[in-house]
């Protein structure tokens, strides 16, 4: 510098000043931009698959809100977790819009066709056929959510799903295990085998899984909205495929499908507000469980599974609330659901008083009676007392086995068949004959009816919160793993028909009716502030699992990760076992047996107990936390304006 002429130095100083100003301006612009960005980006997403979480992040990063991200993730997970959900199924979506302080529930569960009686249907024999398929609701539900509460165009939020379907994605460990376990069913069905198998063998972890037909359908939806699915080419091919395979679905059924929007149910648990799914989904049962749980004095342990007393009390609550669920929950468009009574604190107190604190009573779950919530339905205590004299007579049925995907398998469930064998009713499956893919399995005489029934974690859940404190809790399903195992035009169809009951009057099939389902997407608030979004797959276990995770957080003060990892158990009316994870101490298990439970110990972190996805605010309000259940593959990621922290599930 010292060797430069004075003129040159002046020029450089001017340039330097100009550069400084330009830099300052750029900094100012960057600051303004980052402030704007911080308001529109960031959040937390927890889903059952890393690519679905990535899809949610992609949308949040582009400034989308929680609804945009949830719709993107829901479409995406239907592609990358094709066993658990997809556009051939349905679900429920609970939305909280912070600026409006509004919550809404969208039921987009599969719906019965207008003429369901035109075919005969056996829920036990024909659940893996086109006969079990109901009219899918996923596309209609997600599109409506986006239209009413989203901010981004449909093609943008569908882009990740289309990309995953068209370009393919590597099979993850959970899917690899499921493909192996469902190999028989897949091999028998050429459209499924073409996608999920390679040279006659199930695709393994890391192999590419492409779904080009599905990508084409998703592109039609991106271009035409719901009409790309419910009308035209896709609808025609669906009707043709389903009817050719013996099912019932018409063009009118598809065109008539509309998601239902309703007010969610609200309750409280030890001071926090719980907002959850209304009937025919199972939020009422969750609230009933939590209301009864308020009467439990948990022992001074680190966790309720460390105390046989606590597990016993909760098991008795589950047995009673599941009995009520079966008796009273159904499609409210077709019947009166006593939701007000079911979720009333007074009713919970009455039900809780029935529990023997020392032993399982009645001994057999099937003998656990349902209660009478109607008297608490918008009535005062005097009216309730008067109506006691007019209680309806309890109906008796012991075989409400098809009231949800989990209990639909009661007869087929391995543990149930175990019981039957012990009772000398069943036959022992001693041989597994070799079968060439593409051919029917040859079964030995007396061999078990089915061998692919241990569907521990069908369905999927995702939880999302955005930077503006909007929250989504979404659970969707195909019914059982791989649904009806019927694929038409790349669309794997649900087997929702098994969710209807053949015995429970509240849940009989009818034209245009939607079945009762265990799905329980839930939001939690504290002092009016949003706190948490959570939910789970896992068939009948969903409700008890969600309740246990809430107890872990609220009663035992666990953080979301610890709450998600803690041991779980399950008991209900329609199963004579108490299932429990093997991490629970032998002493507790022995004491439970002494109390009268038929205990079945499962794995240490068993997929049977669901796959809870949690998105939450940090207690101090400084940011987000998320947790993906290690019982199931998945990730929770916290997306900030600057950094992305990913917490993998197992």
Partner 1 sequence: MLKKLLLLAIVIASLAPLSAFAAETKFQQPILLTTAGQSVDVKLAGVLLDRLKVTFTSNAAATAADLKGFKTLMVVPGYSSKGLGSAGVSREAELTRVRSLLAAAKAAGIPVLAVHLGGKARRGVQSDDFNKLVAEAAATVIIVDQGDEDGFFTQVCAGSMIPLKPVKNMAEAMKPLEEVIAK
Enumerate binding residues for partner 1 (CB under 8 A): 173, 176-177, 180-181, 183-184, 198-202, 204-207, 413-415, 417-418, 421, 428-437, 448, 450-454, 456, 602-604, 606, 608
Nearer to partner 1, 202 or 515 (CB): 202
| Element (DSSP H or E) covering residue 104 | strand 102-107
Please say which residue, 171 or 254, places its beta carbon nearer to partner 1: 171
Q: Please, what is the Cα angle at 22 between 17 and 28, to 5 degrees?
A: 125
CA 606 centroid distance within chain: 16
Q: How far is the CB of 157 from partner 1 (least distance, A)?
A: 32
Taking the complex as a whole, the smallest distance from the CB of residue 422 to partner 1 amounts, in Å, to 9
Taking Cα atoms as reference points, which of 421, 284, 410, 286 lies closest to residue 341? 284
- Exposed/middle/buried for residue 219 (C-beta within 10 Å: 0-12, 13-18, 19+): middle
**Active-site residue set:** 459
Nearer to partner 1, 312 or 577 (CB): 577
Question: How many CA atoms, within 13 angstroms, populate the side-chain half-sphere of residue 171?
Answer: 23
Question: Closer CB to partner 1, residue 361 or residue 447?
Answer: 447
Query: In whole angstroms, how close is the CB of 294 to partner 1 at the nearest point?
Result: 35
Taking the CB of residue 42, how many other CB atoms lie within 10 A of it?
22
Q: Which is nearer to partner 1, 205 or 273 (CB)?
A: 205
Question: 10 Å Cβ neighbour count for 297?
Answer: 9
The single-letter DSSP state of residue 389 is T
Q: In what order do the strands lie in the sheet with 598-602?
A: 569-570, 577-581, 598-602
Give 400's strand partners: none
Q: Which residues sit opposite 487 in a β-bridge?
A: 492
Query: Which H helix or E strand runs over 350?
Result: helix 345-352
In three-state form (DSSP H/G/I as H, E/B as E, the rest C), the secondary structure along 107-142 is: ECCCECCCCHHHCCCCCCCCCCCHHHCCECCHHHHH
Decide whether 380 or 433 has the Cβ nearer to partner 1.
433
Least distance from partner 1 to the Cβ atom of residue 176, Å: 5
Residue 91 Cβ, how far from partner 1 at the closest point, in Å?
24
For the chain, report the end-to-end CA distance as a whole number of angstroms.
61
CB of 136 closer than 8 Å to CB of 30: no
DSSP H/E element including 253: helix 251-256
Minimum distance of partner 1 from residue 245's CB (angstroms): 24
Query: Does residue 314 contact residue 296 with C-beta atoms inside 8 Å?
Result: yes
Which residues, other chains included, contact 238 with Cβ-Cβ below 8 Å and sequence gap of 6+?
249, 254, 488, 489, 491, 493
C-alpha torsion sign, points 359, 364, 366, 368: negative
Q: Kindly state the helix (H) or strand (E) to which residue 44 belongs, with its residue range.
A: strand 43-47
Give the DSSP letter of residue 160. Answer: H
Residue 442 beta carbon to partner 1: minimum distance, rounded to whole angstroms? 10
DSSP string, 3-34: TS-HHHHHHHHHHHHHHHHHHHHHHHHHHHHH
Nearer to partner 1, 430 or 643 (CB): 430
- Decide whether 197 or 355 has the Cβ nearer to partner 1: 197
> Closest separation between CB of residue 452 and partner 1, Å?
7
Q: To the nearest whole angstrom, how small is the minimum distance from the Cβ of residue 621 to partner 1?
A: 39
CB of 453 to partner 1, least distance (A): 7
> Which residue, 155 or 603, has its beta carbon nearer to partner 1?
603
Is the Cβ of residue 189 or residue 333 nearer to partner 1 in the bound state?
A: 189
Q: How far apart are CA 255 and CA 258, in angstroms?
A: 8
Give the tokens for residue 471: 């929250």
CA distances in angstroms from 218 to 86, 151, 200, 223, listed in the order given:
11, 19, 27, 9
Q: What is the DSSP string of 89-100?
A: SEEEEEEEETTT
Rg (CA), the chain: 26
Is 178 or 214 the residue whose CB approaches partner 1 more closely? 178
Buried b (16+ CB within 10 A) or exposed e, 220-252: bbbebbbbbbbeeebbebbbebbeeeebbbbee
Q: How far is the CB of 404 from partner 1 (least distance, A)?
A: 19
Report residue 339 as tokens. Answer: 């939701």
**Token reading at 41:** 């980006």
């Amino acid at each position: 510098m010292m060797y430069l002429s004075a003129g040159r130095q002046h020029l450089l100083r001017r340039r330097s000043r100009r550069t400084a100003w330009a830099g300052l301006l750029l900094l100012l612009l960057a600051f303004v931009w980052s402030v704007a960005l911080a308001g529109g980006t960031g959040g937390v997403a927890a889903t059952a698959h890393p690519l679905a979480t990535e899809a949610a992040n992609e949308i949040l990063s582009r400034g989308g809100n929680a609804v945009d991200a949830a719709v993107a993730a829901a479409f995406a997970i239907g592609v990358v977790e094709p066993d658990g959900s997809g556009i051939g199924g349905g679900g429920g979506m609970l939305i909280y819009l912070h600026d409006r302080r509004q919550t809404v529930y969208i039921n987009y569960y599969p719906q019965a066709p207008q003429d369901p009686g035109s075919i005969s249907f056996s829920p036990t024999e024909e659940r893996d056929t086109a006969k079990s398929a109901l009219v899918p609701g996923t596309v209609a539900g997600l599109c409506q959510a986006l239209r009413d509460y989203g901010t981004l165009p449909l093609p943008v939020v569908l882009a990740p799903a289309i990309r995953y379907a068209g370009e393919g994605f590597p099979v993850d460990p959970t899917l690899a295990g499921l493909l192996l376990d469902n190999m028989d069913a897949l091999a028998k069905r050429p459209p499924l085998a073409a996608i999920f198998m390679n040279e006659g063998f199930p695709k393994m972890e890391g192999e590419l899984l492409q779904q080009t037909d599905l990508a084409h359908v998703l592109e039609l939806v991106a271009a035409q909205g719901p009409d790309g699915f419910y009308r035209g080419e896709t609808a025609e091919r669906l009707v043709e495929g389903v009817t050719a395979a013996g099912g019932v679905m018409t063009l009118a059924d598809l065109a008539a499908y509309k998601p239902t929007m309703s007010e969610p149910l609200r309750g409280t648990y030890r001071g926090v507000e719980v907002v959850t799914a209304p009937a025919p989904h199972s939020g009422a049962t969750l609230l009933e469980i939590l209301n009864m749980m308020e009467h439990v004095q948990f022992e001074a342990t680190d966790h309720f599974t460390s105390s046989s007393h606590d597990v016993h009390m909760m098991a008795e609550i589950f047995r009673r609330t599941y009995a009520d669920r079966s008796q009273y929950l159904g499609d409210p468009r077709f019947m009166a659901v006593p939701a007000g009574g079911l979720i009333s604190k007074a009713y919970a107190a009455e039900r809780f008083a029935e529990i023997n604190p020392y032993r399982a009573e009645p001994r057999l779950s099937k003998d656990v009676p349902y209660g009478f919530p109607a008297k608490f339905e918008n009535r005062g205590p005097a009216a309730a007392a008067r109506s006691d004299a007019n209680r309806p007579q309890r109906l008796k049925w012991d075989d409400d086995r098809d009231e949800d995907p989990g209990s639909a398998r009661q007869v087929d469930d391995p543990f149930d068949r175990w019981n039957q064998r012990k009772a000398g009713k069943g036959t022992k499956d001693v041989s597994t004959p070799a079968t060439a893919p593409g051919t029917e399995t040859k079964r030995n005489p007396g061999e078990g009816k089915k061998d692919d029934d241990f569907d521990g974690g069908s369905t999927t859940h995702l939880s999302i919160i955005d930077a503006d404190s909007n929250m989504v809790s979404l659970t969707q399903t195909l019914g059982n793993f791989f649904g009806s195992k019927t694929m038409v035009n790349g669309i794997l169809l649900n087997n929702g028909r098994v969710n209807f009951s053949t015995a429970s009057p509240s849940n009989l099939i009818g034209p245009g009716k939607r079945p009762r389902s265990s799905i329980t997407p839930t939001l939690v608030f504290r002092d009016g502030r949003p706190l948490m979004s959570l939910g789970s797959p896992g068939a009948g276990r969903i409700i008890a699992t969600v309740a246990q995770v809430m107890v872990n957080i609220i009663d035992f003060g666990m953080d979301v990760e610890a709450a998600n990892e803690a041991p779980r158990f399950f008991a209900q009316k329609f199963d004579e076992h108490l299932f429990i994870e093997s991490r629970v101490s032998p002493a507790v298990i022995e004491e439970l047996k002494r109390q009268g439970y038929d205990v079945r110990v499962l794995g240490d972190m068993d997929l049977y107990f669901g796959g809870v996805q949690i998105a939450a605010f940090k207690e101090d309000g400084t940011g987000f936390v998320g947790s993906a259940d290690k019982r199931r593959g998945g990730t929770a990621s916290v997306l900030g304006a600057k950094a992305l922290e990913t917490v993998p599930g197992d």
